[in-house]
């Protein structure tokens, strides 16, 4: 399908390029033109767009188009525990509320709860998710059926999945057969995996020459326990097992020493921070300013709805900046412009999605429209800072993924009525939590 987005303000997120008035043209799942109004006639005269006929033309009414947010750490199907598994520290929360109820999940349940999460992602302007959960094949199916772009990773631990299963998933979901789905190697955490598990994973890492992602240094207790077991922090231990030889990253990274940061620099790893979840579980405040000073790239995730409890990148962006200011006791410790880049460009790069970072010719048509006519977006002193400090989900007017409008003006276009998904999820929750 060919779509013309016109009469728009455009923030491409290209380095230092300001917002401008212009148009974006889309052919199938790619952008074929993005430019300022004054250059449009010149582009047409080149003849490159000759024969391009639009199936749909959308008047953006001077609202803002920009790349969608990349939620770089989430557990989509954990929507089933939203506002049920609350007010507990991490290890107690996992042991009492999460692990026992996850044992009751099946494929049908995970499918429905993932579709519920997709509705929330779309209404929040999230166009890509990095999902770690049970049964990744089911998550992939739910995302393909709804049009969501997803990068999957394994939650390998001593009780679920295996290195052999991970290898099969890696090869299947990185094939060209599934354009919306890709896959990275991963494991749940050091503390949920035996050394043998991680040793076997190391063989796979070397064979595939692939990056690895994991929960890392989320709590002080996790770090202290790892030191007791292996005489090293989690970051140093994982590096010693050869798991970071080809890059990857860590989710949370709250309690990090300078030695840990050196591990990240040596191995070109990404930090994926989850401030709302870390606050709610009282895990701590990640040293984002220190990561930036050490030239460690940072991306942002929501974590799951059981610990957050909303899948909202606006909230996360605000907290990344505001919590850094509190931690460092410096109001200028984390600029909003840098944070917006973490939520978009850095997220795409962490996930290896080179065609999803900015709005430019040849990139994926993963685009969101920000409603600039709401009072929180006025006056327009600084659009980027408005998005981080004043923006919220109500500003998402449209979400497009791979050239398909999946959400617009409060309505979803995913092939299923939201009310049916809501009813199904509530029925399932009653069975699981009765």
Domain ranges of the chain: 2-67+363-412, 72-350
Whether 144 has a pLDDT exceeding 90, the answer reads: yes
What's the token pair of residue 13?
């997120």
Distance of CA 380 to the CA centre of its chain: 27
Kindly state the tokens that stand for 92: 């107690």
> pTM here?
0.96
Task: Report how far residue 9's alpha carbon sits from residue 31's, in angstroms, rounded to the nearest whole number.
Answer: 16
SS3 299: strand
Within 8 A by CB and 6+ apart from 112, the residues are 421, 424, 425, 428
pLDDT at 88: 84
Which helix or strand (DSSP H or E) is residue 314 part of?
helix 313-328
pLDDT for residue 47 is more than 70: no
Q: Has residue 332 got a pLDDT over 70? A: yes
What is the Cα–Cα distance from 277 to 281, expressed in whole angstroms? 6
Contact at 8 Å (CB) between 322 and 388?
no
CATH architecture of structural domain 72-350: Alpha-Beta Barrel (3.20)
Please state the rounded mean pLDDT for residues 418-422.
98
Q: What is the pLDDT of residues 366-382, one digit of tens each?
A: 999 999 999 999 999 99
SS3 108: helix
Residue with tokens 């295996």: 162
Provide, rounded to the nearest whole percent, the portion of the chain with pLDDT above 70. Answer: 98
Instruction: Check residue 214 and report its DSSP letter.
Output: E
Q: What average pLDDT does range 331-339 have in this prediction?
A: 97
Q: Is 399 helix (H, G, I), strand (E, B) or coil?
A: strand
44 and 32 in contact (C-beta within 8 Å)?
A: no
- Residue 434: per-residue pLDDT: 79
Kindly state the DSSP code that residue 94 receives in the 8-state scheme.
I
pLDDT tens figures, 154-168: 999 999 889 999 999
pLDDT computed for residue 86 by the predictor: 87
Q: At residue 407, does pLDDT exceed 70?
A: yes
Task: Round to whole Å and give the CA distance between 114 and 143.
Answer: 8
Closest CA to 395 of 22, 46, 63, 62: 63
CA angle 358, 142, 278 (to 5 degrees): 65
| pLDDT value at 278 more than 70 | yes
Phi and psi dihedrals of 415, rounded to 5?
85, 10
274 vs 304: CA distance, rounded Å: 10
Contacts of 267 by beta carbon, 8 Å cutoff, 6+ apart: 239, 244, 245, 247, 248
Q: Identify the bridge partners of residue 299 per DSSP, sorted by sequence position.
A: 272
Model confidence at 48, pLDDT cuts 50, 70, 90, reads: low
Check residue 89 and give its pLDDT.
Answer: 83
Q: Which two tokens stand for residue 173?
A: 């979901």
**Model confidence at 307, in pLDDT bands (50, 70, 90)?**
very high
Minimal CA–CA distance to 109: which of 84, 134, 72? 134
Q: What pLDDT score was predicted for residue 405? A: 98
CA distance 188 to 75: 11
Cα distances from 81 to residues 135, 181, 269, 275, 310, in angstroms, run 17, 25, 31, 19, 11
pLDDT at 37: 78
The confidence score (pLDDT) of residue 202 equals: 97
d(CA 369, CA 58): 11
* φ and ψ at residue 226, rounded to 5 degrees: -65, -40
Question: Using one digit for the tens of pLDDT, what is the confidence trace for 88-120?
Answer: 888 888 888 888 999 999 999 999 999 999 999
Q: What is the pLDDT of residue 44?
A: 66
Going by pLDDT thresholds of 50, 70 and 90, the confidence category of residue 224 is: very high
Q: Helix, strand or coil for residue 224? A: helix
pLDDT of residue 387: 98
| CA separation for the pair 102, 100 (Å, rounded) | 6
Please give the structure tokens belonging to residue 364: 């994926």
pLDDT at position 343 is: 98
- Per the CB < 8 A criterion, the answer to whether 389 and 321 are in contact is yes
Nearest one of 201, 188, 185 to 159, comparing CA atoms: 188
Mean residue pLDDT across the chain: 96
Contact 201, 212 (CB under 8 A): yes
Q: Taking residues 225-239, report their average pLDDT.
A: 98
Q: Which CATH class is domain 2-67+363-412?
A: mainly beta
């Amino acid at each position: 399908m060919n779509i013309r987005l016109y009469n728009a303000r455009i923030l491409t997120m290209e380095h230092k390029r300001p917002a401008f008035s212009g148009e974006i043209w889309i052919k199938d799942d790619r952008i074929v033109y993005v430019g300022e109004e004054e250059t449009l006639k010149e582009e047409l005269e080149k003849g490159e767009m000759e024969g391009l006929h639009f199936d749909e033309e959308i008047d953006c009414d001077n609202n803002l188009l920009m790349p969608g947010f990349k939620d770089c750490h989430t557990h989509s199907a954990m929507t089933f525990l939203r506002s049920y598994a609350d007010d507990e520290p991490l290890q107690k929360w996992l042991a009492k509320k999460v692990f026992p109820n996850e044992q009751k999940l099946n494929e049908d349940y995970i499918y429905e709860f993932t579709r519920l999460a997709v509705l929330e992602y779309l209404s929040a302007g999230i166009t890509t998710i990095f999902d770690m959960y049970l049964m990744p094949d089911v998550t992939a199916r739910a995302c393909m059926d709804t049009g969501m772009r997803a990068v999957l990773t394994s939650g390998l631990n001593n009780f679920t999945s295996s290195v052999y299963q991970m290898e099969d998933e890696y090869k299947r979901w990185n094939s060209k057969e599934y354009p919306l789905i890709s896959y990275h190697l991963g494991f749940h955490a050091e503390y949920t995996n035996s050394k043998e598990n991680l040793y076997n994973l190391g063989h796979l890492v070397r064979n595939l020459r692939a990056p690895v992602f994991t929960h890392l240094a989320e709590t002080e207790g996790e770090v202290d326990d790892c030191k007791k077991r292996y005489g090293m922090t989690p970051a140093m231990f994982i590096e010693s097992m050869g798991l970071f030889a080809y890059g990857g990253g860590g989710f949370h990274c709250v309690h990090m020493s300078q030695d840990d940061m050196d591990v990240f620099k040596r191995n070109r790893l990404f930090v994926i921070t989850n401030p709302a979840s870390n606050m709610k579980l009282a895990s701590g405040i990640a040293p984002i300013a220190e990561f930036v000073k050490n030239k460690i790239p940072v991306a942002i995730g929501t974590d799951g709805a059981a610990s957050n409890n909303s899948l909202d990148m606006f909230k996360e962006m605000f907290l990344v900046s505001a919590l850094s200011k509190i931690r460092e006791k410096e109001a200028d410790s984390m600029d909003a412009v840098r944070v917006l880049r973490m939520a978009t460009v850095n997220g795409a790069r962490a996930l290896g999605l080179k065609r999803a970072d900015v709005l430019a010719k040849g990139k994926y048509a993963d685009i969101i429209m920000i409603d600039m006519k709401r009072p929180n977006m006025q006056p327009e002193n600084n659009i980027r800072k408005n998005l981080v400090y004043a923006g919220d989900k109500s500003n998402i007017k449209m979400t497009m993924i791979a050239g398909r409008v999946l959400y617009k003006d409060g309505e979803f276009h995913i092939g299923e009525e939201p009310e049916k998904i809501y009813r199904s999820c509530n029925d399932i929750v009653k069975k699981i939590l009765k």
